[in-house]
């Protein structure tokens, strides 16, 4: 197995034995705390039985039908677009609870795709199941719309990083944003999180070279700010990391 996803052990150990395991999709859709037993039942029923997908697998390619989509229960993936010259731009990382974007044909000069990073466990959600759920509880449409809006905000943030921040700030942003997305599904600890993405992937996500990513990470490590090594991100000095990311947390900086 290419990469043993360490969160499995942690997730089970953080629950009482025998209790129902966390459903990251549920957590994601219903991020406000109040949810009825009925809503839990409906959202759970939308998903077909979990299926596992090996690491480094193409999940979505242009030309497929869009009659169903997948929800990530466990594991990491990424969406990318591919230029004619072979350059790859990682558009976003897909984490537990995320919906894998529908297959969409390319938009002219770039080809889109989704590829798994680690072994993954996904549930299929057919459009038929969504329609059925919407009949019982019309607001599921709103939930999906909100999810899509979140993705658009994520894209806008990513875009802004590429356009207007330097390499250090981009990397700091990425590390903080990943932590913020992993937290609600219980995949973080107080000082960091498991992170299976290589420096090549980071480079392709941030419009940089793996070589330059490496140098910047070395700098951040030597300054005691953050260590990114062997599938693990350890944050030593969160305040300085946020400052580098351009997120001044309310304190005066002058």
Binding site for DNA (CB under 7 A): 1-4, 166-168, 198-200, 203, 207-212, 214-218, 229-230
DSSP E strands in 102-186: the ranges are 110-116, 120-126
> Which of the choices DNA, a second copy, none does residue 230 contact, using the CB cut-off of 5 to 8 A by kind?
DNA
Contacts 24+ apart (CB under 8 A), 159-163: 161/206, 162/206, 162/207
Site for a second copy in 235-254 (CB under 8 A): 245-248
Query: Least distance to DNA from the beta carbon of 209, Å?
Result: 4
Do 111 and 81 touch, CB atoms closer than 8 A? yes
Q: Does residue 82 sit in helix, strand or coil?
A: strand
Do 158 and 207 touch, CB atoms closer than 8 A? no
Site string for a second copy, 49-88 (x = CB under 8 A): --------------------------------x-xxx-xx
Q: How many residues bind a second copy (CB under 8 A)?
A: 41
- In 3D space, the residue among 199, 198, 177, 197 whose CA is nearest the CA of residue 188 turns out to be 177
Query: Least distance to a second copy from the beta carbon of 4, Å?
Result: 31
> Which of the choices DNA, a second copy, none does residue 84 contact, using the CB cut-off of 5 to 8 A by kind?
a second copy
Do 48 and 125 touch, CB atoms closer than 8 A? yes
Stretch that binds a second copy, among 27-35, 55-63, 201-209, 232-240 (CB under 8 A): 201-209
Helix (H) or strand (E) holding 222: helix 210-222
187: CB partners within 8 A, 6+ apart? 7, 10, 11, 95, 96, 193, 194
**Is the Cβ of residue 18 or residue 163 nearer to a second copy in the bound state?**
163
Query: Residue 44, interface with a second copy (CB under 8 A)?
Result: no
Phi-psi region for residue 8, left (φ > 0), alpha (ψ -120 to 50) or beta? alpha
**Is the Cβ of residue 118 or residue 173 nearer to a second copy in the bound state?**
173
Site for a second copy in 122-161 (CB under 8 A): 141, 148-149, 151-160
* Dihedral Cα 254, 222, 187, 239, nearest 10 deg: -10
Stretch that binds a second copy, among 103-111, 119-127, 182-190, 223-231 (CB under 8 A): 103-111
For the four alpha carbons of 50, 64, 151 and 245, in that order, the dihedral sign comes to: positive
Site for a second copy in 170-199 (CB under 8 A): 173
> Which of the choices DNA, a second copy, none does residue 187 contact, using the CB cut-off of 5 to 8 A by kind?
none
> Which of the choices DNA, a second copy, none does residue 238 contact, using the CB cut-off of 5 to 8 A by kind?
none
Rule CB under 8 A: which residues touch a second copy?
81, 83-85, 87-89, 91, 102, 104, 107-110, 112, 141, 148-149, 151-160, 162-165, 173, 204-207, 245-248
């Amino acid at each position: 197995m290419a990469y043993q996803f360490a969160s499995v052990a942690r997730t089970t150990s953080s629950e009482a034995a025998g209790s129902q395991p966390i459903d990251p999709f549920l957590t994601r859709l219903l991020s406000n705390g109040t949810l009825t037993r009925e809503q839990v039942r409906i959202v759970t029923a939308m998903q077909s039985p979990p299926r596992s997908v090996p690491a480094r697998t193409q999940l979505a390619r242009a030309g497929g039908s869009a009659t169903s989509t997948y929800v990530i229960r466990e594991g990491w993936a990424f969406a990318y677009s591919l230029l004619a010259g072979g350059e790859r731009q990682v558009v976003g990382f897909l984490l537990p609870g995320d919906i894998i974007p529908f297959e969409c044909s390319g938009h002219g000069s770039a080809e889109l795709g989704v590829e798994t990073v680690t072994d993954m466990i996904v549930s299929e959600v057919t459009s038929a199941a969504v329609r059925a759920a919407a009949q019982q509880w019309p607001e599921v449409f709103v939930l999906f719309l909100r999810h899509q809006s979140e993705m658009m905000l994520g894209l806008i943030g990513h875009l802004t990083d590429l356009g207007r921040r330097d390499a250090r700030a981009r990397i700091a942003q990425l590390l903080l944003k990943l932590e913020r997305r992993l937290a609600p599904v219980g995949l973080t600890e107080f000082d960091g999180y498991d992170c299976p993405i290589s420096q090549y992937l980071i480079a392709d996500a941030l419009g940089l070279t793996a070589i330059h990513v490496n140098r910047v990470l070395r700098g951040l490590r030597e300054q005691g700010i953050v260590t990114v090594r062997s599938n693990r991100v350890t944050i030593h000095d969160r305040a300085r990391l946020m400052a580098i990311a351009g997120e001044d947390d309310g304190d005066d900086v002058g």
